[in-house]
């Protein structure tokens, strides 16, 4: 590199430091000065002092320090770390992340260590002594000893302990890892650290349960999908089943939703952070341009594990009369049988079918139950809708076949199933994990409640 090139590089670095200092001054309460009268090294020192003062300020005077949304360069989720800095180069870090060692994985752990503000090719926050909370992400791992979940070439998790200042925005400080360049964000913590952990876990369990694992990603012109949000490594794809070009997006959970490591876009519509909507029906991006909606409607329509029982009080007089006759026929087949519930789902036992399921008691004490089913076609003609179709050719399972062979139940059951045919708008009681749903007939028809 020529001396001219070196001077150009040095001038660029100096300009970046000066600009960063101006940004930090403009967004905080520091005394404004004309930094361009200082040498480049003094500019870096001056800015480092300003940055350190901001870290210490948020850590004192009754404040709760920082949430550090920490990412590594390899394929892992984001981690919430917590930091409190003093003016003497000491830092307390805390977390309950899953890679804590010595039996502390998943347990709230605090650790004291040192930090420094370095003046290299720009402002650098360095965690320069071992800290159980952070250094595990940086520590090289013997490939022969590394768990399969870690990078297996001896580099560990590709984390950084030296963080290069990147930008100051919305009262948060953005860094990038010095070696591996993962983006790391410091956010002023607005509650105690344990409360932040508890609130984040509550939100995560609400928006990312283990039952509904896919989401509609809805924007102005199209709908795509997220999968596997709970893992913190989202699969972003154009369809849920057999996606052609899936993309991984790393995220960290927050008390209000989740945030991606990097800003992404769909057709020029950008998004990074999602928060739970006031009505808890979806997650909304920071600019209200993208919505993440759990595939609750598919879960209800296509459920293969749950039986959605009808609220029988909502049945018509005709339907209630048919059920009374069906109950009589059940008892003709076996005097211990009696009808308990009727719903939509998958019957149990031999030859199980998906459709209309009758749950019946199998003893006089009404403590033992079994199911009998007749297939119905349930489909989703559009978002939030269910279409029920019944035909004379619908199959019956083994239990219902045995009952029908000993009674006149089959014709009554087919007649009852036909009364449910129609298209319905669905309104769940919980969009992220419904346990009940209202069915409102589109056009003529009866409304129902599933529970």
SS3 183: strand
Q: Which residues is 84 bridged to in the sheet?
A: 92
How sure is the predictor about 355, in pLDDT bands with cuts at 50, 70 and 90? very high
Query: What percent of the chain is helix, strand and coil (3-state, nearest 5)?
Result: 25, 35, 40
Contact 394, 404 (CB under 8 A): no
Contact 326, 412 (CB under 8 A): yes
Mean pLDDT across 431-448: 95
Q: What is the pLDDT of residues 386-415, one digit of tens each?
A: 999 998 889 999 999 999 999 999 999 999
How sure is the predictor about 265, in pLDDT bands with cuts at 50, 70 and 90? confident
Which of 139-153, 205-219, 331-345 is the least confident region?
A: 139-153
Give the separation between CA 419 and CA 422, rounded to whole angstroms. Answer: 8
The residue to which tokens 């390899």 are assigned: 74
How sure is the predictor about 300, in pLDDT bands with cuts at 50, 70 and 90? very high
305 against 138, higher pLDDT: 138
Quick one: how many helices (H) and strands (E) in the chain?
A: 7, 26
Q: What is the pLDDT of residues 75-113, one digit of tens each?
A: 899 999 999 999 999 999 999 999 999 999 999 999 999
At residue 27, the pLDDT reads 44
At residue 308, the pLDDT reads 95
How sure is the predictor about 152, in pLDDT bands with cuts at 50, 70 and 90? low
Q: Which two tokens stand for residue 284?
A: 């909304």
Check whether 21 has a pLDDT greater than 80: no
Check whether 142 has a pLDDT greater than 70: no
Check whether 13 has a pLDDT greater than 70: no
Give the separation between CA 67 and CA 64, rounded to whole angstroms. Answer: 9
Give pTM, 2 decimals: 0.85
Give the separation between CA 358 and CA 307, rounded to whole angstroms. Answer: 10
At residue 149, the pLDDT reads 64
At residue 154, the pLDDT reads 74
Per-residue CA distances from 196 to 133, 171, 186, 366, 399 (Å): 17, 18, 14, 48, 52
Percent share of the chain, pLDDT over 90: 75
Contact 377, 363 (CB under 8 A): no
Q: Is the dihedral of CA 259, 264, 267, 268 positive or negative?
A: positive
The residue to which tokens 């001077």 are assigned: 7
Contact 66, 95 (CB under 8 A): no
Check whether 137 has a pLDDT greater than 70: yes
At residue 11, the pLDDT reads 39
Contact 348, 341 (CB under 8 A): no
Mean pLDDT across 309-315: 96
Q: What is the pLDDT of residues 229-242, one digit of tens each?
A: 999 999 999 888 88
At residue 321, the pLDDT reads 98
155 against 145, higher pLDDT: 155
Give the separation between CA 376 and CA 391, rounded to whole angstroms. Answer: 8
At residue 145, the pLDDT reads 59
């Amino acid at each position: 590199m020529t001396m001219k090139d070196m001077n150009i590089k040095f001038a660029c670095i100096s300009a970046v430091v000066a600009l960063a200092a101006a940004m930090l001054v403009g967004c905080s309460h520091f005394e404004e000065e004309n930094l361009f009268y200082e040498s480049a090294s003094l500019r870096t020192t001056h800015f480092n002092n300003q940055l350190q003062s901001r870290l210490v300020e948020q850590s004192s005077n009754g404040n709760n320090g920082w949430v550090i949304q920490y990412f590594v360069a390899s394929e892992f989720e984001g981690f919430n770390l917590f930091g409190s800095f003093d003016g003497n180069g000491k830092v307390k870090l805390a977390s309950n992340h899953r890679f804590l060692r010595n039996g502390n994985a998943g347990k709230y752990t605090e650790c004291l260590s040192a930090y420094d503000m370095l003046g290299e090719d720009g402002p650098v926050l360095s965690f320069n002594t071992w800290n159980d909370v952070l250094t595990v992400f940086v520590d090289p791992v013997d490939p022969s000893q590394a768990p399969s979940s870690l990078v297996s070439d001896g580099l560990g998790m590709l984390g950084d302990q030296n963080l290069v200042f990147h930008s100051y925005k919305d009262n948060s400080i953005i860094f990038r890892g010095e070696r591996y360049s993962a983006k790391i964000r410091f956010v002023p913590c607005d509650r105690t650290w344990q409360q932040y952990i508890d609130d984040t876990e509550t939100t995560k369990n609400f928006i990312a349960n283990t039952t509904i694992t896919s989401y509609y990603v809805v924007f102005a012109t199209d709908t795509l999908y997220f999968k596997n949000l709970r893992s913190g490594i989202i699969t972003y794809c154009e369809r849920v089943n057999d996606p052609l070009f899936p993309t991984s997006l790393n995220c960290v959970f927050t008390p209000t939703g989740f945030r991606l490591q990097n800003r992404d876009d769909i057709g020029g519509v950008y998004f990074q952070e999602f928060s739970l909507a006031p009505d808890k029906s979806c997650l909304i991006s920071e600019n209200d341009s993208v919505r993440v909606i759990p595939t609750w409607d598919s879960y209800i329509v296509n459920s293969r594990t749950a039986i959605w029982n009808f609220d029988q009080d909502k049945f018509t007089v005709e339907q209630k009369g048919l059920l009374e006759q069906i109950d009589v026929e059940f008892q003709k087949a076996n005097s211990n049988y009696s009808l308990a519930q009727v719903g939509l789902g998958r019957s149990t036992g031999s030859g199980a079918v998906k459709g209309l399921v009758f749950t019946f008691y199998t003893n006089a004490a009404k403590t033992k139950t079994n199911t009998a089913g007749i297939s119905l076609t349930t489909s989703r003609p559009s978002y939030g809708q269910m279409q029920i179709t019944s035909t004379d050719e619908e199959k019956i399972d083994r239990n219902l076949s045995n009952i029908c062979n000993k009674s006149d139940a089959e014709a009554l059951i087919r007649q009852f199933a036909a009364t449910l045919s129609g298209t319905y708008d669905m309104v769940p009681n919980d969009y992220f994990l419904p346990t009940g749903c209202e069915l409102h007939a589109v056009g003529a028809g009866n409304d129902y409640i599933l529970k």
